[in-house]
């Protein structure tokens, strides 16, 4: 008789981590392919369209890098929060709360001050806005025992409604033909782009720097070590005298602030005005969670995986136009990959073997 033998693994191996990542993407492709086939689309053709749309041309690469910018920013911040056991799922709202004050500055000061002053101010305001949204959640968690999953989730909706209120109401632009947009940002409040692309490189530079800084913070400093202990073993952390309040609030401020910067990049680099919340945040806050999960919360790995998922988002736009599939189709792919990625974790902590009895 054969049976399955399951044992706990003592150490995690990097090789295995990498392998489960690859396998989960591969299985994601297969299962999504089955769903495509059930829908009546040749899966090989659909995947060809997805990946050639994003990685198969210069234009595709430009779009992929553009969409990777917010993903890199948010996923680096999230990976830090997740390591500390802070389940920030409010990056969508934090992006928006970054975009709101940046818009205010753009519309108020953009007319009369040079870009060299306005743009840095917008980024700072965006960081503060996003940090505020996440920081409040941390305070609610540590002082009032309100779960951060609930609070960050609630903030997503509250802030999205606030944005709608602003663009339909007091901030509605006069020159926008009645659309719920604010007036377009003056040129000194918009980010410059590389050539004919949409790559707003200033945000891209900040994003890459952020990933590196968060990596150093997590791996090389006492602060990062404390965060890891808090996440892995809260009671040990308490025993060691780690200040939970300070630690959680700081991490959430950074994580939310980076999402806020991503929000500034979207309004000042892509849209040039504030508009519908779901146009601005566009699901980046949730996609970044997959990125951080697949990157095993390593910000440098987040850089690479952000580009991959950004490619999938761009590919999703491609099949929307060429195969008439709804843009949400890509969610199936993302959801399945995420399932396999966390299922794969089981094999990192347990060894599963088929053995012969007796």
Instruction: Tell me the window of 116-124, 125-133, 143-151, 257-265 that interacts with other proteins (CB under 8 A).
Output: 143-151
- Find the binder of other proteins among 239, 326, 351, 355 (CB under 8 A): 326
331 is an interface residue for other proteins by CB under 8 A: yes
Q: Which is nearer to other proteins, 20 or 62 (CB)?
A: 20
**Could you tell me how many residues make up the chain?**
358
Q: From the CB of 334, what's the least distance to other proteins, in Å? A: 5
The CA distance from 100 to 254, in Å, is: 18
Site string for other proteins, 68-107 (x = CB under 8 A): -------------------x-x------------------
Instruction: Tell me the window of 157-165, 198-206, 222-230, 250-258 that interacts with other proteins (CB under 8 A).
Output: 157-165
Angle at 195 between CA 277 and CA 70, to 5 degrees: 30
Q: Which is nearer to other proteins, 155 or 185 (CB)?
A: 155
26 is an interface residue for other proteins by CB under 8 A: no
- Find the binder of other proteins among 140, 210, 303, 312 (CB under 8 A): 140
39 is an interface residue for other proteins by CB under 8 A: yes
Instruction: Tell me the window of 10-18, 49-57, 252-260, 334-342 that interacts with other proteins (CB under 8 A).
Output: 334-342
DSSP 293: H
42 is an interface residue for other proteins by CB under 8 A: no
The CA distance from 79 to 335, in Å, is: 19
SS3 assignment, position 8: strand
279 is an interface residue for other proteins by CB under 8 A: no
Chain-centre distance for alpha carbon 71: 4
Instruction: Tell me the window of 13-21, 111-119, 223-231, 318-326 that interacts with other proteins (CB under 8 A).
Output: 318-326
How many other C-beta atoms can be found within 10 angstroms of the C-beta atom of residue 276? 17
Q: Which is nearer to other proteins, 170 or 241 (CB)?
A: 170
The CA distance from 304 to 8, in Å, is: 30
- Helix or strand run (H / E) with residue 233: none
Phi, psi of 23 (to 5 degrees): -65, -40
Instruction: Tell me the window of 12-20, 145-153, 208-216, 230-238 that interacts with other proteins (CB under 8 A).
Output: 145-153
27 is an interface residue for other proteins by CB under 8 A: no
Size of the site for other proteins (CB under 8 A): 48
Q: Which is nearer to other proteins, 6 or 58 (CB)?
A: 6
150 is an interface residue for other proteins by CB under 8 A: yes
171-200 residues in contact with other proteins (CB under 8 A) are: none
Instruction: Tell me the window of 13-21, 111-119, 139-147, 252-260 that interacts with other proteins (CB under 8 A).
Output: 139-147
| Helix axes 222-232 and 58-83, enclosed angle (nearest 10) | 70
Q: From the CB of 278, what's the least distance to other proteins, in Å? A: 9
**151-156 own/partner pairs: CB under 8 Å, 24+ apart:** 151/90, 152/87, 152/88, 152/89, 152/90, 152/93, 152/94, 153/89, 153/90, 155/90, 155/93, 155/94, 155/97, 156/89, 156/90, 156/92, 156/93, 156/285
229 is an interface residue for other proteins by CB under 8 A: no
Closest CA to 134 of 249, 277, 223: 249
- Find the binder of other proteins among 233, 327, 351, 355 (CB under 8 A): 327
23 is an interface residue for other proteins by CB under 8 A: no
| Residue 297 β-bridge partners | none
**318-321 own/partner pairs: CB under 8 Å, 24+ apart:** 318/49, 318/50, 318/52, 318/53, 318/54, 319/46, 319/49, 319/50, 319/53
Do residues 85 and 145 make contact, with C-beta atoms less than 8 angstroms apart? no
Which residues contact other proteins by CB under 8 A?
8, 35, 39, 87, 89, 140, 144-147, 149-151, 153-158, 161-162, 164-165, 168-169, 286, 289-290, 293, 324-336, 338-339, 342-343, 345-346
């Amino acid at each position: 008789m054969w049976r399955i033998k399951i044992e706990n693994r003592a150490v995690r191996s990097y090789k295995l981590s990498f392998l489960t990542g690859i396998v989960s993407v591969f299985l994601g492709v297969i299962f999504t392919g089955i769903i495509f086939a059930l829908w009546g689309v040749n899966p090989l053709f659909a995947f060809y369209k997805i990946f050639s749309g994003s990685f198969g041309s210069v234009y595709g690469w430009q779009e992929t890098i553009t969409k990777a910018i917010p993903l890199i920013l948010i996923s680096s911040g999230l990976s830090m929060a997740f390591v500390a056991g802070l389940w920030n799922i409010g990056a969508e709202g934090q992006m928006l709360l970054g975009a709101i004050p940046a818009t205010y500055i753009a519309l108020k000061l953009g007319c009369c001050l040079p870009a060299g002053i306005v743009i840095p101010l917008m980024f700072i305001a965006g960081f503060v806005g996003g940090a505020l949204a996440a920081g409040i959640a941390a305070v609610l968690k540590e002082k009032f025992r309100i779960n951060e999953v609930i609070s960050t989730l609630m903030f997503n909706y509250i802030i999205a409604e606030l944005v709608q209120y602003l663009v339909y109401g007091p901030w509605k632009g006069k020159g926008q033909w009645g659309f719920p947009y604010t007036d377009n940002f003056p040129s000194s409040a918009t980010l410059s782009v590389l050539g004919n692309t949409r790559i707003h490189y200033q945000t891209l530079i900040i994003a890459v720097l952020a990933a590196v800084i968060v990596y150093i913070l997590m791996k090389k400093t006492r602060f990062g070590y404390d965060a890891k202990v808090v996440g892995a073993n809260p009671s040990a952390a308490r025993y060691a005298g780690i200040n939970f309040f300070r630690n959680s609030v700081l991490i959430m401020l950074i994580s939310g602030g980076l999402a806020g910067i991503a929000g500034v990049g979207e309004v000042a680099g892509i849209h040039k005005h504030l508009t519908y919340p779901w146009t601005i945040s566009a699901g980046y806050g949730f996609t970044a969670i997959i990125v951080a999960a697949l990157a095993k919360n390593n910000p440098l790995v987040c850089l690479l995986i952000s580009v991959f998922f950004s490619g999938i988002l761009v590919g999703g736009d491609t099949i929307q136009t060429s195969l008439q599939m709804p843009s949400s189709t890509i969610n199936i792919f993302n959801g399945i990959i995420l399932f396999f990625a966390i299922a794969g974790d089981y094999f990192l902590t347990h060894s599963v073997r088929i053995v012969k009895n007796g």
